[in-house]
Amino acid sequence: MFHTLLQYIPTHLQNFILVVVLALLIGLEQRRHHINEPFENLFGTDRTFTLLGIAGYIFYIINPQQLYVFIIGACCITFLLSIYYFHKISSEKKYGLTTILIALVTYALAPLIYTQPLWLPFSIVILILVITEAKQSLFAISKLLDEDEFIILAKFMLLVGVILPLLPNKAISTEIPISPYQIWLAVVVISTISYASYLIKKFLFPNAGIIVTAILGGLYSSTATTVILAEKNKENPSDMLVLPGMLIATLMMYVRLIIIAYIFNAAIAQALLPFFIFFVIVCGLIIFFLILSTKKQAIPKGTTIIKSHNNPLEFKTALIFAGLFVLFTIITQYVFKTFGNTGLNILALVVGVTDIDPFILNLFQSKMALVTGVIVLSVLNAIISNNILKMAYAITLSSKAIRLKIAISFGILIISGIVVSLWLFLSQHQ
């Protein structure tokens, strides 16, 4: 119905109405934004911006091929805006250019509407409205940024946008059947998850308690989060929320790994999903009963349980991860060729006491003739071994008051993993 109606309205009229409406919206927003400022300090608001849009439409439509008239009009408007700007500087000592730049964008609405898909001018206007009204929010965010924040962002952009596209996607050799691109892609995925958890922690939950920090820390590293929480418990033995926090970090490990699996190998992810859902349910039930048995405790407002990482994207860490990835590729291939599936499963148990991400990512991208079931079993074995390591860290570093509960809680999760792995192993050898 609407499209049928539009057929009877000339295209020029449609575009003219669109220019007027968008320019008027920008002008109304400018009036609201400057509502408390003296009128004589402004060069205009709703009417002026609407007329700027109309002027841009007229000057463009006169000669849309050559654009001479439109360019001359732009020069004249820029000259008038320059006079206003220099007067503003001399009289008010204010140097902001936001309103002037918005005026120039408003003037350019007509060629945008005629030459670009409609989503672009609409997106530009929406962005203008949001950015202008978000001035105070942006100012508040800028106060949270420290001197190294943009260096960290630059490193992330370097990892993702410069190094990754330049690397060749060809296997290094027959002994190392992965490409530099695959190696660095693994680094990028892990770095992205780490950087995202860092940003959420710093800007959305800067003063979060144990539960939130355990969730975000688990996305980064469940082992590191377990160590930090155990140390916090030793400092404050009465805080019984620490143990549920450790289990939450482990639960988030399963979430992180299934996300990584879907990124690199959807078939393996689908095979792992039922097992991971089972472990998440087991972990969730343990957390639920732990919280039920824990009396509510008042945590001082503003206390940060886990500090934000100062630099989650150090090149040293990225290079170590890449080196481990290559090392595990070589070891995995050698063990599989020499000892077969059994050797691979034993290797998975061994590497669980280290950083399991390089080993598991290597399995997800493996070019070896591994069936999905073998990879799933190896991943589960690595997780079991890693959970044993976390239990050992937690018992060693925490206070005596919760060591028995740590052993029971992690023991249930570890035994569940062993039972599932044995069932999967036996089903593969029937």
The residue among 167, 218, 190 whose CA lies nearest residue 324 is 190
Q: Do 309 and 334 sit in the same domain of this protein?
A: yes
State the pLDDT at residue 301. 44
Q: How does the average pLDDT of the chain come out, rounded?
A: 82
Residue 218 contacts residue 225 (beta carbons within 8 Å): yes
d(CA 39, CA 4) in angstroms, rounded, equals 44
Greatest mean pLDDT among 51-55, 128-132, 356-360: 51-55
Among 16-30, 126-140, 179-193, name the most confident range. 16-30
**CB 329, CB 321: distance < 8 Å:** no
Q: What is the pLDDT of residue 312?
A: 57
Same-domain check for residues 129 and 159: no
Q: According to the model, what pLDDT value does residue 255 have?
A: 92
Contacts of 416 by beta carbon, 8 Å cutoff, 6+ apart: 278, 279, 282
Instruction: Work out the burial of residue 170: count CB atoms within 10 Å of its CB; fewer than 13 is exposed, 13-18 middle, 19 or more buried.
Output: exposed
Q: End of a domain among 140, 173, 196?
A: 140
Predicted pLDDT of residue 232: 79
Tell me: do 275 and 197 sit in the same domain: yes
Assess if residue 145 is contained within a domain. Answer: no
Q: What is the pLDDT of residue 305?
A: 47
Q: In terms of residue numbers, what domain contains 49? A: 2-140
CA dihedral (35, 39, 44, 46) in degrees, to 10, reads 40
Q: What is the pLDDT of residues 135-191, one digit of tens each?
A: 766 666 666 666 677 777 888 888 888 888 888 888 787 767 778 888 888 888 888
Taking only the tens place, the pLDDT of each residue in 199-229 is: 777 777 766 677 887 888 888 788 888 888 8
- Domain count of the chain? 2
Same domain, 125 and 205: no
Average pLDDT for residues 323-337, to the nearest whole number? 81
User: What pLDDT does residue 12 have?
Assistant: 86
Q: Per the structure block, which two tokens stand in for 52?
A: 């700027």
| Whole-angstrom distance, CA of residue 287 vs CA of residue 210 | 13
Same domain, 299 and 424: yes
| Residue 6 belongs to some domain of the structure | yes
pLDDT of residue 55: 94
Q: How many angstroms separate the Cα of 343 from the Cα of each of 57, 127, 248, 377, 380? A: 73, 57, 31, 12, 15
Give the Cα separation of 125 and 109 in Å (integer): 9
DSSP character at residue 415: H
Residue 238 C-alpha from the chain's centroid: 34
| 55: in domain | yes
Alpha helices in 266-307 (DSSP H): 266-293
Q: Which of 122, 140, 158 finishes a domain? A: 140
Identify the band that residue 418 occupies on the pLDDT scale cut at 50, 70 and 90.
very high
The answer to whether 26 touches 108, Cβ cutoff 8 Å, is no
| Residue 98, domain member (yes or no) | yes
Query: Are 200 and 129 within one domain?
Result: no
Is residue 85 in some structural domain?
yes
Domain boundary among 140, 170, 196: 140
| pLDDT greater than 70 at residue 306 | no
What is the rounded distance in angstroms from the CA atom of residue 177 to the CA atom of residue 211?
41
Q: How confident is the model at residue 84 (pLDDT cuts 50, 70, 90)?
A: confident
Asked if residue 95 and residue 34 are part of one domain, the reply reads: yes
230 in the same domain as 93? no
Q: Which two tokens stand for residue 358?
A: 């390089």
Q: Each residue of 344-359: pLDDT tens digit?
A: 888 888 887 777 888 8
Structure tokens at 99: 């309103």
Q: pLDDT higher for 185 or 254?
A: 254
Asked if residues 370 and 340 have their Cβ atoms less than 8 Å apart, the reply is no
Residue 330 lies in a domain: yes
CA 232 to chain centre: 27
**Over 50: is that where the pLDDT of 303 sits?**
no
CB 305 within 8 A of CB 209: yes
Looking at residue 319, what is its pLDDT? 75
Q: Under a CB-based contact definition with an 8 Å cutoff, are residues 332 and 351 in contact?
A: no
**232 shares a domain with 92:** no
| Rounded Cα distance, 34 and 397, in Å | 57
Residue 39 banded pLDDT, cuts 50, 70, 90: low
Q: Same domain, yes or no, for 101 and 229?
A: no
Is 90 exceeded by the pLDDT of residue 50?
A: yes
| 122 and 219 share one domain | no
Distance CA 48, CA 29 (A): 12
Q: Is residue 205 part of a domain?
A: yes
pLDDT band at 391 (very low <50, low <70, confident <90, very high): very high
Looking at the fold, whether 114 and 156 belong to one and the same domain comes out as no
CB burial of 87-117 (b: ≥16 within 10 Å; e: otherwise) equals ebeeeeeeeeeebbebbebbbbbbbbbbeee
Task: Copy the structure tokens of residue 100.
Answer: 């002037």
Confidence of residue 298 (pLDDT cuts 50, 70, 90): very low
